[in-house]
Structure 1
Amino acid sequence: MAGGRLSLSASSPRIDFHIDTGNAFLNRAADGFFTIGAVAVAKVAVEETYHCLQKGSLSENALKESLKKMCKEGAYWGTVAGAYAGTEYAIQRIRGKKDWKNSLYGGFITGALVAAASKKNRDDVVKAAITGGAVATAANFINHLA
């Protein structure tokens, strides 16, 4: 098995986190998992801090529940992002083109997979696929505007 490499660099306001598994597909999926998973963890941390400040108290039980929620949300968001990043990359390799259609197809497939894995009915799977494709394509277009 090929050796892996992990690197972390930070410069305000950007933090880069790279994992090198020796496999481009796995690298993309892992990068998506960790990057978006960290965003979810930060989101929950801010929400929970706000709730604690609003209540004016912090208990050990509340802290444990906050940590559980952070892990759960981070894992869920990260898994969806990793699946999307890996799917988009696989589609790019299959099509041999790097364009917005990869985002559309990747989002469509990921949305359908997430809904199907959540045991949704057929209509919900189709709606999730359409939403996933639309959001991924919009994000791709916005990314190219910046």
Structure 2
Amino acid sequence: MPRSRFSGSVSSPMVDVVIDMGNPFLNRTVDGFLKIGTVGATRVVAEETYHCLRKGSFSSNQMEHSLKKMCKEGAYWGTIAGVYVGMEYGMERVRGTRDWKNAMLGGALTGALISAATNSNRDKIVTDAITGGALATAAEFLNYVT
């Protein structure tokens, strides 16, 4: 019986923007901010384009609204990513090792900080810290799945 197989590979694009701040901590933090901030802004572009195509019209007022939303989302996503990357790197430096625990601790601290900055509910802050730690740990483990 004939068989067929599909073989190939999927690779993600490499985008390296190097900004030397003179400190590895700052370099990584700014790099995370820029890369993930761009992802957040691009998400808004795709979403707004879809809405405009669906409505069938586009105005300068919508363009201005979309641009403001892009900047806001890009800055928000970038800030969270920058804090996370900085926390993870800080954990690596403090602990003297590079493993999944740095991601977990960095994610938990980032979740707690971002949550504490936006609300004062203690239970919500703890829940967001747990969620941040779980997401970061899961992402770290997915990097090693073959």
Q: Calculate the TM-score normalised by the size of structure 1.
A: 0.89
Which string of whole-angstrom CA distances, capped at 9 and with x for unpartnered residues, describes residues 120-142 of structure 1?
30000000000000000000011
Following superposition of structure 1 onto structure 2, how do residues 91-110 of structure 1 map, counting pairs within 5 Å? 91-110=91-110
> Equivalent residues in 2 for 1:1-146 (5 A)?
13-145=13-145
CA distance in 1 between partners of 2:142 and 2:39 (Å): 19
Give secondary structure in 2 for the equivalent of 1:66. helix
Secondary structure, in 3 states, of the residue corresponding to 1:14? coil
Inter-partner Cα distance in structure 2 for 1:83 and 1:74: 14
Q: Deviations over 1:56-81 (max 9, x none)?
A: 01000000000000000000000000
Give the deviation of 1:19 after TM superposition.
1.4
Shift of 1:119: 1.9
Aligned length: 135
Spell out, residue by residue over 1:42-98, the C-alpha distance to the aligned partner (whole angstroms, 9 max, x if none): 100000000000010100000000000000000000000000000100110000000
Aligned CA-pair RMSD: 1.1
1:145 shift after superposition: 1.9
- Structure 1 spans left out of the alignment, 5+ residues: 1-11
Structure 2: state its 5+ residue gaps: 1-11
Q: Given the two structures, how large is their TM-score scaled by the length of structure 2?
A: 0.89
Q: Max radius of gyration: which structure?
A: 2
User: One-letter code of the match for 2:114?
Assistant: V
More strand by share: 1
